[in-house]
Amino acid sequence: MSRSAPLGAPAEAQNVLAITPFRRLWISLSLSSLGDWLSLLALVSLAAIFTAESSTLVQYLAVTGVVAVKLAPSVLLSPLAGAVADRLDRRWTMVGGDVLRGLLYASIPVVGLLASGFALQWLLIASLLAEITALFWTPARDATIPSLVPKRMLGQANRLTLLATYGAAPVAALLFAVLASVSNLLGALVPSMANPEADVSLYLNALTFFVAAIVVAGLPLPKHTVSRDSLSPGRDANILSAVLAGRTAVGGGPLVRGVVTGLAATAAAGGLVLGAGRPHVEDLGAGNAGFGVLVAALFLGLGLGLVSGPRILKQFSRRRLLGLAAVLAALALLFTGAIADMVLSAVLVLLLGLGAGLAWVTGTSLIGVEVEEDQRDAAFALLHGTGRLAVLLGAVLAPLAAGFAGDHEIPLGGPITYDLHGSGLVLMAGGLVALVAAVVAYTQANREDPEAGPGLLPELFAALRGVTPGVEEEEEDSRITGAFIVIEGGEGAGKSTQVRELTVWLRDQGFEVVGTRQPGATKLGMRLRGILLDRENSHITDRAEVLLYTADKADHVEQEILPALRRGAVVISDRYVDSLLAYQGAGRSLAVDEIRTISSWATQGLVPDLTVLLDVRPEDGLSRLGGPADRIESESVDFHNRVRRGFRALAEEDPDRYLVLDAREPQERITREIQRRMRPLLPDPVDSSSEAVTGMIPVIRPE
């Protein structure tokens, strides 16, 4: 999406990666992220191996300890670490952090070989130290990126950073599964590697950090100057404070409650898989390789949901889709715990990730559109914080609860029994709780839904067929599903600026946007524009001028505007029919009603959903231009005053369609007013926004 896609346009990503220092930093953080995910998988598996001869409860407690050590520091300590990191040199903070983490992770299998009695304790200590080190590394990385890329590319650079951080998860999981599968071969070739304590994945993990440190050591970074603001205490609120502050700022409307509940349920479901996944695959006889496959399936499904969410069931209510996606994730979790088969478990976890991805991208898009701009940051902080807490609680409590639940054998009659392990029981119980939460989320989000069809099943079946309930399929191609916004005003009013700003804003929210102008948006229009605005063509009569402008509008509507509106895009046009009525009607003193009739026929009766009039005194507007550049701008001040009066008269005739703004106001204030008026008119986003991806940050590392 435009900027709204997780990576933006491929050409934009290539442009950012063409900057050598950023490309090197990106490679470094990709390797570090790969090491982070590998360490999570390896340490959870080693904890289970180290306690293999202990009771089931002890094994689960060990896994709980590892998960808590890996996830809790970033939630509890990141504000303090971020403030301290601002005092440190960024380059050497990243280099030292990568080297130290590499040494700590490499020491775990070494200690396991040399002092097996102390192996588990050192695993927890080394993991905690590595996570604390990462708390200093992350803000140093984030603060470095703006110094390496131009400001206009910063958004794309941040999206590439997210790709490196979370795209490494399925890669690490698959790599871990492969390493686990070939461990027997490695043990045969190198006898010392046959011991489970000598986990080769941790050695590889350490290597990724060492290489990352070498890459970042040579970066040409500017000298870091510490500012007072960066040292102020509490500049980064902790997660609980962010959640409470976001809840207060956004309020408790049913939509917000529904989105928060649904996203928390899916995040907790993912956390349960991370926490109980290793014991669960052990019960299925899959071991380390199975755990890697399970985590890879989770994140592959998540990525698929994030990418496909905005494009799936376009005719279906987004609020209903949020609830159904959360239900899908909950049911997948429930059956994952109930079915004792590794292949089916992997498929179900893939569906869980898919449902979670669909829910997150849909929920964050709804918040981005429905919540006022001045409250949006607080709303996303609420979603972000709630999601991270849900992941943490799910991942930490899952193995602990499984240990206390224990294993059970349920007779089904005769010699047939059903083995219900503690991990499976926890996954099923979590699935039931998530299912209840998903139903609550669906109910809350769909209260007062203006987009809901006549019923869930009719709307769903119609959306699967690509049509809207109550609309015949043969009529669907001509149905307008997008929004048509027009910016009008006199010369120098700032129309083009607002078209540009609104186009960027809408693309940031995940919409397909067509920014256009009249005359001149089509091949025919460009020729007509040259004729109409050429100062040498002063001989054009008033009626001929009207017909030329009308021809441009007819071609523009047929070629550009209607196709975009029919596919659900938002069209923002610099001028439309009202300019013809004001300039040629009022300005040329022609019959406005006659021009309106001709224009209505030419444009097939298409009327904008909103017309924004930027009102400006002709003297002020023309002075902004620095002198007349075309035939219309060269007209007299009296002509432009008549045009202004014509615009104002049109706005008074149709106040529901018009938004009149003083063009002398600051550009940012005008943009905010237009956004506020546009928001209820917008269709569903067709792409996921960077905020949606950012909303998935609950796992491991804060941004």
User: Do residues 703 and 697 lie in contact, with contact meaning Cβ atoms separated by under 8 Å?
Assistant: yes
- Asked if residue 70 belongs to a known ligand binding site, the reply is no
* DSSP-assigned states of every residue in 508-547: HTT--EEEEESS-SSHHHHHHHHHHH-TT-TT--HHHHHH
3-state secondary structure 608-619: CCEEEEEECCHH
| Residue labelled with tokens 């390496």 | 148
- Asked if residue 495 belongs to a known ligand binding site, the reply is yes
In the sheet that holds 483-489, the strands lie side by side as: 513-517, 570-574, 483-489, 610-615, 658-662
- Asked if residue 515 belongs to a known ligand binding site, the reply is no
User: Do residues 107 and 191 lie in contact, with contact meaning Cβ atoms separated by under 8 Å?
Assistant: no
User: Do residues 69 and 124 lie in contact, with contact meaning Cβ atoms separated by under 8 Å?
Assistant: yes
Alpha carbon distance 466, 567 (integer Å): 12
Query: For residue 489, what are its two tokens?
Result: 């005003």
β-bridge pairing 610-615 and 483-489: parallel
Residue 481 Cα distances to 92, 98, 330, 698, angstroms: 53, 51, 32, 34
| Residue labelled with tokens 């809790």 | 72
Closest among 163, 164, 144 to 154, alpha carbons compared: 144
Burial group, residue 184, by CB count within 10 angstroms (0-12, 13-18, 19+)? exposed
User: Do residues 575 and 517 lie in contact, with contact meaning Cβ atoms separated by under 8 Å?
Assistant: yes
| Contacts of range 662-670, beta carbons closer than 8 Å, 24 or more positions apart | 662/615, 662/616, 663/489, 663/493, 663/494, 663/614, 663/615, 663/616, 663/620, 663/621, 664/616, 664/620, 667/494, 667/497, 667/498, 667/501, 670/494, 670/498, 670/614
- Asked if residue 271 belongs to a known ligand binding site, the reply is no
Alpha carbon distance 32, 165 (integer Å): 8
81 three-class SS: helix
Q: Quick one: DSSP state of residue 257?
A: H
Burial group, residue 655, by CB count within 10 angstroms (0-12, 13-18, 19+)? exposed
Cis upstream peptide for 519 (omega within 30°): yes
- Asked if residue 466 belongs to a known ligand binding site, the reply is no
Query: For residue 690, what are its two tokens?
Result: 């960077």
- Asked if residue 277 belongs to a known ligand binding site, the reply is no
Alpha carbon distance 499, 487 (integer Å): 7
User: Do residues 454 and 311 lie in contact, with contact meaning Cβ atoms separated by under 8 Å?
Assistant: no
- In the annotated binding site, the residues are 489-496
- In the annotated binding site for ATP, the residues are 489-496
